[in-house]
Structures are given as C-alpha cells and as structure tokens.
Structure 1
C-alpha cells in the first residue's frame, strides 16, 4: 500500500484495540471476544507475552530487515505469522497505549489525543506528563483488560520504565496489573520472562525505535541501532519462552520524516491564531477550541492556508466519520471544535504552546496515513 494513502482504523476487526481481548479469549476468560481470530492459531496456549515496540510500524519493517533478522523471519512467515492491523486514531503513543490496555477504541476510553483541553477550562492535559489531575480513574473510566485478566486469575504483569509507575497514563492503561521494571531491551526481556513463571499474561514495552526516529530520522545509523535493539528483545523472548506460551509483537504507530518545507507554525501566522482560544492535539493532528462564534471563520482560514496539506473539519464530522469509534457525550468536548488532520508529510507546529524540542524532531506520527496507522501483528507460538 502507498504509505501516504489514508487508512481508517479497523476497530472490532483488525486493530490495536482487539489485541488483548483476543489474547484473553485464547486464555479462556469468559465473555472476551476474539476479533483477531487467535483461538484457532493458539489453541492450547496457556501463557501469552505481548511486547509493544514503540514506533516500529508495518511500513518500517522492510527498512529494518538487515538489523532485525528475527523480526524479519516472523514477518516473512519463516518463524511465525504476520499481518498488518491498524492503530487507533490519532496514531500516537498515549492514545495507543490506552487503546491496547483497555481493548477499546479511543472515543470510548476518552484519551483521544496527545494533548487535550480539559473541558470548561483553558488547561491542557499532556498525557505523557500527567500524574493525578485530572483523576485517571475518572478521566479514563473504563476497566482495563489487565483488570479483567486479574479478575480471571491470570495474574497479569506489565514490564515498563519504573518512572511511569503511578502516572496517569499507566493507571489509565495498565491498572489491574502488577508492575515490573524494565527500560533497556535486556532488562525488559528478563523482566517479562521472569513474570511468565507466575503470570499468564505479560506485557512489555520498548521505546527505542520511536525515540530514534524523532531525534534522528528514519534510516539513520541511530534508527538502525534502535531497530537492532528491538530485535534483540524479541530474540531473547523467543529463546526463553515457556513451552506452553506464545509471543505477540505489536507497535503503537509508525513514523515518517517531515522536511523543513512542510512545517507550518501556527503561532507565527496570525491567520491561524485568529479566533482560536485553546490549541491542543499535536503536530500531525491539531484540535482547535475556538472563541464562541468563530468556528466558521477558523475553518475557512485553516482550509485556505493548508489547502491539500490537511483535512480541516468539524468535531461533528470527524466523529461521524468513525475515526475515534463511538464517542460518548462525556468525551466529546475533549476533541476540538475544529480538527486538523495533516496529509502527506505536513505538520503544524505550535512554538508558543509546546516545548522547543518538538520543532527539532525529524520524524512524526499521529495522522491517518498508512505509514503511521498500519502496525504489525506478529505471532510466534512456542
């Protein structure tokens, strides 16, 4: 598929939201659906390890092939099975982690963007820096798949960076699981394999590929080194898996490099700030909360400036198109009055609203292109 083609999320069929419900179904949890059809493939499996490789989308697997022989063997069918599924929308880490952790589309769990306006205020909730305000259990009210696994006696464990313990994002995505430490590839592998002795569902996370893409760009030596570390993690997991187990490898999104001439800064263009009260979202998907009565003018101005570089639409149209899945009334106002979804390689920066580092990043994600939305579902049965 053309990496710049638009890909709609396939909730309830082939999406990141369907991974843990299908895994729980394999493990015999009553009432869990199996939209990915894993029961036949993994019949008899008693333990499942799920590892998420941040930023290693489906379209990034071929460029990583020389650095990732194990992942390549799985992707090409020599060691396991592989197919593309979709992330949720926006295709960004906080949205994806909660989508995976709850088994629900973003509209239902409410984490519908990287940065969200807290309705009724001018405050922005940054979901990577979020702690206890707003309360994670009300901001994201759904029970997680890990809670359901715990109630079913599976003793689920999540292995991730200890600095995220107790964060709003961790509580939203992983509550119900025991937390184990693991930052680098070897430590994550060690923690996951140790947890599999007692837990029947273990999840682990590695940020390296995403970080290298943001900082240096895809295809750079640093990015290839990060892909090699991801492969090292998967190789160690496969080498140590118990006989009655399976490994599922997914990502949260892909990435694409953005050249300098495709970067707009809304805070340097008065046409783009006029009528806007609060700026949220991120560079590939902007949420604009407008001054009362100004939405029509904001729509017109942004459409005139961005042209074919973005889909500029209303909240109602974006929700009706199904990008977020069903959105309850309680979550609607978190989405901007105007939604700006960048196409091709365009981004909209916000230098007066966000840290300077964002303007120096090379690779971005969050939008609806295949390069960002399509992620791998790699499965190896021990």
Structure 2
C-alpha cells in the first residue's frame, strides 16, 4: 500500500507495541514470540514506564520550552539514535494501549478504534445510533450488550506473562474498566486521581523490584478541548514535567525510566459532516472509529466499490479512502485475526492535513466541537517519544 502525500504507514520508526516487551525483558521476562522495539536497555531490577496520553513527538518538540526535563531526555535520545516510536493504526488510545499492553497489533487485539460497530447489531435489530461500542469508556448504546473485555481481547498481556511484581497506576475511574482489563490485566492497579499523587504512588511501588506502569491523561484532555498549540496545553506539559523531575530525583538508583505516549494530535481546522454531505451520506448506515480514522458501514447490499469512488471523489486530497478488505489485506491494522475482520468498516478512511469527518447523526454535540483530534497517519499523530534514562 502507498499512502498519499502527508501520510505514512506505521512501522517507519520503532514500534510502540515493542516498548513494554523490551522493558519487561530487561527485568528478566522471557517473551520469545513478541517483537521488540530495539531499545538498548541494561538488565535491572526495577523499571517504570510513563505513558502520557496525547504527547506526540512533534508537539513535544515544538513546546519543549515548557518541559526542561523532557527536553533534556529528548536531546539525549536524539544523540543516541532514534528518540521516537510509532503508534499503529488507528493512532488512538484504545488501539495503542491494547498494542502497548499485549505487544500485538490492533488487528490481533480487536481494539481497532475509539468506537466500533457492535458485532451483534444486525441480529439484535438495533437502530444505527445504538450500534456503537465505545472502547475507551467500554460502554454500548441502549439495547446493545456491553462486551466482555476478556472475550473481546483474549490475548495475554505482558503483565500477565511477567513473573515479577507489576503495578499499574492511573485514575480511580479506570480501575477494573473494560479497557484496563483488555490491555493491562495482570498488574495490580493503584488509583491516583492527581498527578502528584500518581508520582508518589509510583515511587511507593518502586520500593520493591518489579515493573511499574504510570498512565496520565490530562494532557490529552486539554489537547482535545483547546488544541496542542494552546497556552493551556503548555501549562499542563510544564506540570507533567515537574512531576517527572520528582520521579527521576527520588526513584531508586538503577531504575530504568521510559517516557512514551499512545498517540499525538492535530488541531483540526476543517470539519465535514456526513449527515450534511449527500455524497458521504448515501447508503451509509453508520460511521464508527473517530473523525480522523473512520470505519464506514454501508447498508446491506450496497456496492462497496461505488461507495469507495464516491468517498474518494468527495474528499479528494483530504483523505486516503480504502475498502476495508484492502486495508486489512494490506496490513494497515497489522495482522488481523479472523474473529476481528467483521469489526472493520466496509470503507476505512484516514484523513490528511487538519481535516475531520464527523457524523452528527451519532456523535454528541461536544465531540463535534473538539479542537485536537487524532487517529490518522500523519507524523503528528503517529510519532510518539520513546525516551529512556536510568536513575
């Protein structure tokens, strides 16, 4: 497959899904079936992975003046080689956390987007607006069953395969959630609802040997509402950096620290609404995914080739439009397990530039107004930091 100008295929950098296996191996884990990311890590007893939701490599480089600790780590990593990793497609939290936690592709985990069509939608006779399953909140529309996380994503996580102590730290609302279960099960979850408390919980967990995972999502939230170029984003980055300084200063000697992210972000300047665009609306029953990375589901009996032509003509250079079959066969989602093929849309659409395709028939008014978005194949969305230091 050859994406249009402005887009790139995942895999041009070290893979995000290989980072956690590399860290676990440095602590003695044996994971022969999982690809690594090529991190040069010394063997040790303790490691912490800090995953910052929405901290794209391009945005970090542009706003590094707010983050002296991260700026220093970025300079050190650049001098040593490749400072960045690449998320898979789609470049979104559910897909990336699933790949990060299991070492597998989105096509293997089934975490193929922010939202997906309920596999039983047709059999249940659900109206289109109720057919979406949200893989971040792990909720479903009225009348749709909320999927069991272990059934949806049955592959073992790195934490389940790690024989030492492992701890996952994040906000209390994520304790036992579907996404936490799908991507991170096996680690002991420790809730922390403030950034300073999360840092302290990490330091507490590091008192004993083992693997610690710290997730923080505040930067992503600000980016969605204000954009990564906004002053508020820089302020949140500065607060994050201050906590990292504390972590690095107080972590036990010899601790490996990796800072990474699940995706980057673009600030959207153009929105096209499927509901108000006849060429996009024709024969489309449901749009899943998100506005930068769409799964388009057509009416039963609709001609997929004709729909592909309509979408490609309507969007032009603003998007890469593929049939779902071609996207899967071409490896866009990585290897795709048979059980997950029906989750992929009849059309798969990756946006270029700063355009978004929304659908007011199924999206909330608040989501239609988001400034920062992600999911597609631009460098701004795919490239994430992979910054390693040792205390």
Q: State the shift of 1:139 in Å.
A: 0.4
> Is contact 2:52–2:261 with CA below 8 Å preserved after alignment?
yes
SS of alignment partner, residue 385 of structure 2: strand
Q: State the shift of 1:297 in Å.
A: 2.8
1:127 aligns with 2:128: no
Cα distance in 1 between the residues matched to 2:61 and 2:77: 15
Please give the per-residue CA displacement for 1:178-231, whole angstroms capped at 9, x wherever unaligned: 000123221111111111113510000111221111111122210111111221
1:179 aligns with 2:192: no
Counterpart position of 1:7: 8
SS of alignment partner, residue 76 of structure 1: helix
RMSD value, Cα: 1.9
Counterpart position of 1:309: 318
1:371 aligns with 2:380: yes
- Residue number among 247, 260, 268 corresponding to 2:276 in the alignment: 268
Superposition pairs of residues 177-326 of structure 1, within 5 angstroms: 177-259=187-269, 262-294=270-302, 295-326=304-335
Structure 2 CA distance for partners of 1:167 and 1:80, relative to 1, 3 Å: farther
Cα distance in 1 between the residues matched to 2:119 and 2:77: 50
Larger CA deviation: 365-374 vs 300-309: 300-309
SS of alignment partner, residue 113 of structure 2: coil
> Is contact 1:159–1:191 with CA below 8 Å preserved after alignment?
yes
Structure 2 CA distance for partners of 1:165 and 1:199, relative to 1, 3 Å: farther
Counterpart position of 1:52: 51
Counterpart position of 1:118: 118
Counterpart position of 1:26: 26
TM-score, L = length of structure 1: 0.93
Aligned length: 371
TM-score, L = length of structure 2: 0.91
Q: Which runs of 4+ in 1 moved over 4 A?
A: 78-82
Larger CA deviation: 126-135 vs 349-358: 126-135
Counterpart position of 2:161: 148
Runs (5+) with no aligned partner, structure 1: none
SS of alignment partner, residue 301 of structure 1: helix
Cα distance in 1 between the residues matched to 2:7 and 2:49: 27
Superposition pairs of residues 29-178 of structure 1, within 5 angstroms: 29-32=29-32, 35-38=36-39, 41-77=40-76, 83-121=83-121, 122=126, 123-130=131-138, 133-149=146-162, 152=163, 154-178=164-188
Cα distance in 2 between the residues matched to 1:117 and 1:79: 41
Runs (5+) with no aligned partner, structure 2: 140-144
